[in-house]
Amino acid sequence: MKKIILTLIAAVGLVAGAAHAAGGDTIAWDKAPNKTNDLASLQNGAKVFVNYCLSCHSAAYMRFNRLRDIGLTEQQIKDNLLFTTDKVGETMKASIDPKQAKEWFGANPPDLTVIARSRAGHGGTGADYLYTFLRTFYRDDTKATGWNNLAFPSVGMPHVLWQLQGERRPVFEEHESHGHKTHVFKGWEQITPGTMTPLQFDQNIGDLVNYLQWMGEPAQNTRWRVGVWVLMFLGVFTIIAWRLNAAFWKDVK
């Protein structure tokens, strides 16, 4: 038994050490804007998603006509967002061939319907991760796609938004503590400009992340709103029940 316990302790130590070493050169997640009630932001996010994400990533559990919930008319959806189907009631399926995708990227691009809910971790919410991931691509000629990412090192996904953001290089400072060297991220060096300013790009990524949050649970805002009213009702009803109980039992000794 003692030998087993010591083996388990050693294994935990190795895992912790590996995690520390792997995380030494990564960055903290930025806080994503949480504006799932902002219809203009959601509409722009839906446009960015369809134009830049849907060619490779499906959202197989979301139908185009559900976008009416964020203020778009059926005609607007047909005119501006139906690139992979001609029916507004169809689900958002990618046009890429799965076999070709696996050959190009090493694996099929994941479905993004609930991506914002599935990527939460110790660094923050799933939205925080996506907001950081989509803004931290950099040119890396050693990779097959020519790109790398600070939030997801050696990711197989290329930087599909590079023309908007331009090309950047991360700047690190090396720190040594107790014989262990780490690289601390300090900022970015712009190599070539994009068609958007850094502020405009961050705003568009924020809109995209807001849409991905909303898509993961379109009824979320309604659930919160109804939940507040339910809690208020229960609070008032509890007071009424308490006073009624006192009135019924006041003459009972």
Residues 164-208 have pLDDT tens digits of 999 999 998 887 777 777 778 888 999 999 999 999 999 999 999
218 near 69, Cβ under 8 Å?
Answer: yes
Half-sphere exposure of 105 (CA within 13 A, CB side): 20
Q: Is 178 annotated as a binding residue?
A: no
| Domain definitions of the chain by residue range | 28-217
Q: Is 122 annotated as a binding residue?
A: no
Which range (2-6, 144-148, 231-235) has the least confidence?
2-6
**Residue 26 pLDDT grade (very low, low, confident, very high; cuts 50, 70, 90):** low
143 near 121, Cβ under 8 Å?
Answer: no
SS3 content of the chain, % helix, strand, coil (to 5): 50, 15, 35
For 183-203, b/e burial (b = at least 16 CB within 10 A) is: eeeeebeeeeebebeeeebbe
pLDDT digit string (tens) for 143-153?
989 999 999 99
pLDDT digit string (tens) for 155-166?
989 999 999 999
Residue 14 confidence (pLDDT): 33
Residue 2 confidence (pLDDT): 43
Q: Is 20 annotated as a binding residue?
A: no
Distance CA(212)–CA(32), nearest Å, equals 12
55 near 179, Cβ under 8 Å?
Answer: no
pTM reported for the whole predicted model: 0.78
Residue 3 confidence (pLDDT): 45
**Residue 25 pLDDT grade (very low, low, confident, very high; cuts 50, 70, 90):** very low
pLDDT digit string (tens) for 43-82?
999 999 999 999 899 999 999 999 999 999 999 999 889 8
Tell me if the domain spanning 28-217 has CATH number 1.10.760.10.
yes
